[in-house]
Structure 1
Amino acid sequence: MTIRIHSLSSRTFHKASASLCALACALGAGSARADDAGAAPAPARGEEIVVTGAYTTDENVASATGLGLTIQETPQSVTVITAQMLEDQGLHTLTEVVNNAAGISSQAYDSSRSGFSARGFTIDSYQVDGIPVQWSVGFSAGESMLDLALYDRVEIVRGATGLMTGAGNPSASINLIRKHATSKELTGSVSAAYGSWNRWSATGDVATPLTSNGAVRLRLVGRYEEGDSFVDYLHDRTGIAYGVIDADLSPTTLLSVGASYQHNDPSGSQWGGLPVWYSDGTRTNWRRSKTTAAKWSSWASTNATQFLNLTQAIGSDWTVRGYLNHTRNSGQLRLLYLSGTVDRETGEGLSPSASRYQSKADQIDLGLRVNGTFALFGRRHELTLGTSFAQQDFDYYSFAKGTVASTGNFFEWDGSFAEPEWGARSQVIDRTTKQWGYYAATRLSLADPLHVVLGARLSSWTREGAYYGKDQDYGDRNRLLPYAGVLFDIVPGQTLYASYTKIFSPQEYQDRNGDFLPPVNGVNYEAGLKSSYFEGALTTSLAVFRIEQDNLGQADADNMVPGTTNQAYYAAPGAHSKGFELEANGRLLPGWDISASYTGFKARDADGTRINTQSPQRLARLFTTYAFTDALEGLALGGGVSWQGFTYTDATNPVTKATERLGNPSYALVNLMARYRMANGLSAQLNLENLFDTTYYSQIGFYTQYAYGQPRSATLTLRYGF
């Protein structure tokens, strides 16, 4: 197969990464503090949060330790995708953020599912306001397509976060921070956008006080998007709604109550990808718009949440926060899967498999957290204590089907494939997963430049029920997950740090015999240097890490789980990942903002064989904007590049029976932005993505198929703020 790939040359890329390294290591000084992330600010503290740079934030981060530390004070790699960064780059979904954030990447499974990874390992959950939502890519119900219009920013902590999340992979924690009603005056914005393939959207975001003194406030967000795709017959429709009331019940008590709803209703959804081989054993080379989907196929999904947070300040040093959260992710799937090889002359040879499924993941979370400071030996120290409980009931149904038509000549495929008659529904998965834990963490100030973070979580995890006819009753109780970190301020704004975290991650993978794999166990080490400059307007970090794991599930080549169409896995012993990350975010000069990063690591098993080969082990991200002043005031120009290294899958050629490497060469995507803000609150913004129309794979080797990434596209957005 011959595919044209535009990419950075090795020499050019190494020059770029060397320059980024020099930048990250050269900058220094200053840091600040702010309120607890993951909740509306505690009213008693009343401090004004000042954002000194559009690409930096003085908000603190609770995703790693629960202590509400600044990025500088957190002994792990932390990235915050601010609202300004989301606007500049035109990022609207969780997958788009992952494709542009430092150190993490995504792999498309088909038109409605993407998997995420970091440091060589899968990201198997995301968080909303610090509450983990369990997620399985295989049974995705729109999680990777979450719309970001509801969220103020995205916090990403790379490495293990077992202290706060309990069971989970040592890859990264993605925390979506909700918007809240903080304004005591009427304010908001409306926008409309139109782009390639007739995609259009309309968005509204309004906040208003409900009482004359502003003690009770309301915020409403709505968005609708619809349009076609570069993929034939694929049409997307997405609608979201969000509302939250923030009420100051007293000068020290804040109540937040809200709900959100997102419905994805696509047609022409693709299940899997394009066939790799012709029937003579040679490689295919389809056009980028080619699809295996029928016009009726759909991966429809609904995501709904309701939440309640109550924050009580006790004196000037302590706060208590309680939360209750309900999440329901459901899917209505009518799909067509084509497999096999294609005859070069007739186009025949693909076997159709039509399926209809329903899924529902119902999750309840509740917890209590106490944060405060205390005096000991003449110094002030921070402490957090908490407990959490989560229960997810997951139901998955399959429908009987009537006669399925033949595929015919795939060269003439136009999506007009007859939908079969669907019969009775039967349940194939019925399981309940529970996780509860008790945690404590403290930040001890041993000296002016020396701080120690110590913590532990006592965690229990159980899963019971039926999974494709097999009992799935197992768990792990009272697992102690310690956390330790040390930070030393060389000079103000220059902080050396190191951290250690235990890893515990249950798996739902099955082997070729149908048995479930044992939980993953291991440790996470990290050390680095964090710096800030220009009073926190620019921050940089350099991190090195090593992750060690046993029993890590890896795809078992072409083997399937007996009685299912699911990929079989095996437990890899001695899996480890080691590497480094460089990152810089913030304002270089007045009006000039930058976000830049480089990640390089090696992930291997005990035999030295690369693992998770479909995820890149080299990543470089860069985006920068410049806002003009004087005669050109209101004009902002920006651009960037997202580069990733070689990925591959080794698969068996069904004709020759030889093992072949399906590779995705390294590639770079270049994006541009131009915006003009007028004095009346109106702005116009143009985003160009994949400027040079680079051809690349969005996935390679999933079920020995492949799919193409998005070609060059453009979006024009008009926005009015008031």
Structure 2
Amino acid sequence: MSLSSLRRQDAAVVRSSLALRPLALAVHMLAVGAAVTALPVYAAEPTEEAVTLDAVSITGEAEGGLSDVTEGTQSYTTRAAKTATPLKMSLRETPQSVTVVTQQRIQDQDLQTIADVVNNTVGVSLNRYETSRGQINARGFELNSLMIDGVPTIYEQPWSSGEIFGSLAMYDRVEVVRGANGLMTGAGDPSASLNMVRKRANSKELTGSVEVSAGTWDTYGTLGDLSMALNEEGTIRARLVGEYNDGDSWIDHHTNKRETFYGTMDIDLSEDTTLWFGASRQENNSDSPAWGGLPVWYSDGSETNWSRSTSMSTDWSKWDTTYESYFVNLEHTFANDWHAKLGYTRGERDGDSYLIYPFGSPDPVTGLMGGYGAGSYKTNTTQDDYYLQVDGPVELFGRSHDVAFGYTHSDQDFDADTRGYIPTANYDFNDFYDMPEPDWQPLTDSDASETTQKALYAATRINLADDLKVILGVRSTDYEKEQGNSKIKEDDEITPYAGIVYDLTENLSAYASYTDIFLPQSQHDINDNQLNPIVGESYETGLKAEFFDGRLNASAAVFRIKQDNLAESTGLFIPGKTPPTFAYEEGDGATSDGFELEINGELAPGWNLMAGYTQFDVEDADGEDVNTQYPTKMIRTFTTYRVPGFLGDKLTIGGGVNWQDSIYVYAANPSGVAEKVEQDAYALVNLMARYEITENLSAQLNANNVTDEKYMDFFEAYGAFTYGAPRSLTASAKYSF
């Protein structure tokens, strides 16, 4: 059977089980709302709540009357997020799927890296194909950009150096918007946006915490977070965050050391003007990392069955990275409740690696393989981001409406040098760790690029009636990238945004939205004209519910994402082009159809819940499944409960399950025949318990993958795979003051 036939057969099976029923979803959502309202009612006493923590606001002041329940409380949701649009809107008012991973959930689940957030968020998944790298996917499409404080600070990161394994220590929360988000990000894929929101110096009192931890594989860590006022009036505030984490891995010889430092200050220049600035440094030193995955087959065609501890590295391999960031923001509120925000961020990312990639299939007896590819790279990425935004209310036709407009400018310079080496013909895979280090040659130029994005955007929320809102937005982007002899240039690329929200009841809203995003491409057609950018379009409709004064949010969504203009080879050469260059044409891309259900927040006092289900089907223009190394059905759940009356109301217990359906790839076996490699559906069970020893001191225990499930991710291009983490325990103690 051909590779194409195999894929079509699998696609038919998936399609037969993926029938979308929007009406059924709506009925289910209404049932969820009815069940929620039947839960125990909150006590009438007031609760301490922090205020809006959007990407560029003052933590100590509310914007637009919205209060956030993230920092300083025990919540699994927020009332506001600004990653989807620049407007001040609650989650219920946003006509797009939004998940906020709050500080409380970060602490409860002991989430330490961006990858941890991805693995525990509805609608997104991570394919970890090496120890130090991986690829995020959402709704069937890759995610290749990250945002910090609402600005796409890391976009098109070349030569990935483990950005997704960066520490969360300096961030208060992570906002995830699924679907195309071109209004806020510019160029990218129609998948999702991850926005990391920095911690703010919002306390006028001396507050903070110190945490120490120890866990499986001799992993030890400490985290300190200190906030204070530097003057008696509290108008000058500072915050310092420091983290150190060092430990081994479930993979033999592999160790990782992570250090993070973050400092920030808020200075109230007046009652209406605040200057916010800071700096951070994250350093990650990885010894004996894998470059590539474990072989699927032995040379005789039999399947391997490696231990999860099997190493793919040597004692001299390493991959060290640093990321330094400097930022300054000025914010002002005018007398008419308009706001102006001006900001600049500079990021500098450096990487230095000495790596080795074994290829071929080992002999089952001798362990000999075909060879290896060594690589040593020194990389540097510098990015400067500027932004200006003005937003506020407008009175028109007897109603108040919201308007926002702004300008962004990003410059990214990337440079990579490489060290040559003298290769070795063969080696023994069984003794790979002791392989001598190659004779590295001096650094030479390898790759370089310069990318610039400039954009003007505007958005408005029109209040047509008390229960009907329309959100409209548009972005005009100039994009230019130079890499070697290649140049991509797109001027005035228009990105629209449209949404409508209708309040069905006091707690329930229906919505629909259209968003898109573009991605420039360098290929040329038969007339030597550059192809138009790839365009990703997202259509979404659903229901959103909000209960208990915003402490609980629920949603149901049906979506379709389509990617068009993808370059396809014509098999012909461009006439007169030297050297000979293939011509391409704009073809159809891929389409993803699916739905999601999600609920986040407090079901009752002391009972937090995050739960969601995602299901979709993604196919190319020929009806074949694409990106099959990512799951198309996922369950994400986690809940905590403060046990009343037991041990003096000081015990909190929790747990959750992350489930996904089967994934697969086709790879060439030792005979050169395409063979299906599959990971069956699996579930990971995670548990936690926390006990408050005193008012200031608490102890916590987290257990991940309690059932010790053995599972793997794929490196599709080379018929290789990487095992996920086995069972692990982490014990921590935290002192807060």
Q: Deviations over 1:56-89 (max 9, x none)?
A: 4444211111002111111100000000000111
Q: Deviations over 1:253-302 (max 9, x none)?
A: 01001001000011011100111221112221111111220111111111
**CA spacing shift, 1:510–1:175, aligned 2, 3 Å:** farther
Q: How does 1:487-502 map to 2 (within 5 A)?
A: 487-502=501-516
- Decide which of 121, 125, 136 is 2:145's aligned counterpart: 125
- Decide which of 431, 437, 449 is 2:467's aligned counterpart: 449
Q: How does 1:602-621 map to 2 (within 5 A)?
A: 602-621=617-636
1:503 is displaced (CA, Å) by 2.5
1:374 aligns with 2:391: no
Give me the whole-angstrom Cα distance separating, in 1, the residues matched to 2:524 and 2:675: 25
Q: For residue 6 of structure 2, what is the aligned residue in structure 1?
A: none
Task: Give the secondary structure class of the aligned counterpart of 2:169.
Answer: helix
Q: For residue 80 of structure 2, what is the aligned residue in structure 1?
A: 60
Q: For residue 537 of structure 1, what is the aligned residue in structure 2?
A: 551
- Decide which of 390, 406, 410 is 2:429's aligned counterpart: 410
**CA spacing shift, 1:98–1:238, aligned 2, 3 Å:** same
Q: How does 1:427-466 map to 2 (within 5 A)?
A: 427-466=445-484
1:491 is displaced (CA, Å) by 0.9
Q: For residue 715 of structure 1, what is the aligned residue in structure 2?
A: 730
Q: For residue 645 of structure 1, what is the aligned residue in structure 2?
A: 661
- Decide which of 54, 59, 67 is 1:37's aligned counterpart: 54
Root-mean-square deviation (CA, aligned residues, Å) is 2.7
Q: Deviations over 1:664-692 (max 9, x none)?
A: 11110000001001233111100000000
Contact 1:24 1:582 in 2 (8 A): no
Give me the whole-angstrom Cα distance separating, in 2, the residues matched to 1:665 and 1:326: 43
Q: For residue 673 of structure 1, what is the aligned residue in structure 2?
A: 688
Q: For residue 338 of structure 1, what is the aligned residue in structure 2?
A: 358
**CA spacing shift, 1:609–1:524, aligned 2, 3 Å:** same
Q: For residue 639 of structure 2, what is the aligned residue in structure 1?
A: 624
Contact 1:650 1:701 in 2 (8 A): yes
Give me the whole-angstrom Cα distance separating, in 2, the residues matched to 1:85 and 1:407: 49
Contact 1:122 1:171 in 2 (8 A): yes
- Which consecutive residues of structure 1, in runs of 5 or more, have no partner in the other structure? 1-9, 556-568
The aligned length equals 685
Task: Give the secondary structure class of the aligned counterpart of 1:97.
Answer: helix
Q: How does 1:262-277 map to 2 (within 5 A)?
A: 262-277=282-297
**CA spacing shift, 1:307–1:541, aligned 2, 3 Å:** same
Give me the whole-angstrom Cα distance separating, in 2, the residues matched to 1:382 and 1:36: 19
Q: Deviations over 1:76-132 (max 9, x none)?
A: 000000000001111000001000001000011211111101000011101000010
Q: Deviations over 1:565-593 (max 9, x none)?
A: xxxx9986241111000000111122111
- Which consecutive residues of structure 2, in runs of 5 or more, have no partner in the other structure? 1-13, 38-48, 570-583
1:435 is displaced (CA, Å) by 0.5
Q: For residue 226 of structure 2, what is the aligned residue in structure 1?
A: 206
Q: For residue 563 of structure 1, what is the aligned residue in structure 2?
A: none
User: Under a length normalisation based on structure 2, what TM-score does the superposition of the two structures give?
Assistant: 0.89
Task: Give the secondary structure class of the aligned counterpart of 2:107.
Answer: helix
Amino acid at match of 2:489: G
1:478 aligns with 2:479: no
Give me the whole-angstrom Cα distance separating, in 2, the residues matched to 1:77 and 1:592: 23
Give me the whole-angstrom Cα distance separating, in 2, the residues matched to 1:579 and 1:328: 38
Give me the whole-angstrom Cα distance separating, in 2, the residues matched to 1:376 and 1:683: 53
Q: How does 1:178-197 map to 2 (within 5 A)?
A: 178-197=198-217
Task: Give the secondary structure class of the aligned counterpart of 1:163.
Answer: helix
Give me the whole-angstrom Cα distance separating, in 1, the residues matched to 2:262 and 2:52: 24
Amino acid at match of 2:663: T
Give me the whole-angstrom Cα distance separating, in 2, the residues matched to 1:659 and 1:236: 36
Q: How does 1:393-404 map to 2 (within 5 A)?
A: 393-401=413-421, 403-404=422-423
Task: Give the secondary structure class of the aligned counterpart of 1:164.
Answer: helix
Give me the whole-angstrom Cα distance separating, in 1, the residues matched to 2:627 and 2:198: 32
Give me the whole-angstrom Cα distance separating, in 2, the residues matched to 1:55 and 1:619: 23
1:507 is displaced (CA, Å) by 4.8
1:330 is displaced (CA, Å) by 1.4
Contact 2:76 2:609 in 1 (8 A): no
1:526 aligns with 2:540: yes
Contact 1:664 1:700 in 2 (8 A): no
Larger displacement relative to structure 2 (132-141 or 426-435): 132-141
**CA spacing shift, 1:115–1:670, aligned 2, 3 Å:** same
Contact 1:78 1:157 in 2 (8 A): yes
Give me the whole-angstrom Cα distance separating, in 1, the residues matched to 2:426 and 2:438: 13
Give me the whole-angstrom Cα distance separating, in 1, the residues matched to 2:382 and 2:216: 36
Q: Deviations over 1:131-177 (max 9, x none)?
A: 10334576112311110010001100001111111111110000000
Larger displacement relative to structure 2 (516-525 or 488-497): 516-525
Contact 1:155 1:174 in 2 (8 A): yes
1:698 is displaced (CA, Å) by 3.0
- Decide which of 86, 89, 101 is 2:121's aligned counterpart: 101
Task: Give the secondary structure class of the aligned counterpart of 1:499.
Answer: strand
Q: For residue 707 of structure 2, what is the aligned residue in structure 1?
A: 692
Give me the whole-angstrom Cα distance separating, in 2, the residues matched to 1:137 and 1:282: 38
Give me the whole-angstrom Cα distance separating, in 2, the residues matched to 1:20 and 1:639: 28
Q: Deviations over 1:544-568 (max 9, x none)?
A: 111111244899xxxxxxxxxxxxx
Q: For residue 325 of structure 2, what is the aligned residue in structure 1?
A: 305
Q: How does 1:270-285 map to 2 (within 5 A)?
A: 270-285=290-305
**Identity %, equivalent residues:** 41
Give me the whole-angstrom Cα distance separating, in 2, the residues matched to 1:648 and 1:167: 29
**CA spacing shift, 1:50–1:141, aligned 2, 3 Å:** closer
Contact 1:238 1:263 in 2 (8 A): yes
Q: Deviations over 1:510-548 (max 9, x none)?
A: 99xxx9986311321111100012222211100011111
1:371 is displaced (CA, Å) by 1.0
1:430 is displaced (CA, Å) by 1.4
- Decide which of 119, 125, 134 is 1:114's aligned counterpart: 134
1:709 is displaced (CA, Å) by 0.5
1:576 aligns with 2:585: no
- Decide which of 505, 517, 520 is 1:503's aligned counterpart: 517
1:607 is displaced (CA, Å) by 1.1
Task: Give the secondary structure class of the aligned counterpart of 2:292.
Answer: coil
1:352 is displaced (CA, Å) by 1.8
Give me the whole-angstrom Cα distance separating, in 2, the residues matched to 1:126 and 1:570: 30
1:228 aligns with 2:242: no
Give me the whole-angstrom Cα distance separating, in 2, the residues matched to 1:236 and 1:509: 40
Amino acid at match of 1:408: Y
Amino acid at match of 2:436: A
Q: How does 1:244-259 map to 2 (within 5 A)?
A: 244-259=264-279
Q: How does 1:650-669 map to 2 (within 5 A)?
A: 650-655=666-671, 657-669=672-684
Q: Deviations over 1:184-214 (max 9, x none)?
A: 0000000000000000001100001011111
Give me the whole-angstrom Cα distance separating, in 1, the residues matched to 2:521 and 2:724: 29
Amino acid at match of 1:545: F
Give me the whole-angstrom Cα distance separating, in 1, the residues matched to 2:628 and 2:532: 22
Contact 1:55 1:81 in 2 (8 A): no
- Decide which of 19, 22, 32 is 1:26's aligned counterpart: 32
Task: Give the secondary structure class of the aligned counterpart of 1:250.
Answer: coil
Task: Give the secondary structure class of the aligned counterpart of 2:364.
Answer: coil
Give me the whole-angstrom Cα distance separating, in 2, the residues matched to 1:209 and 1:36: 19
Amino acid at match of 2:735: Y
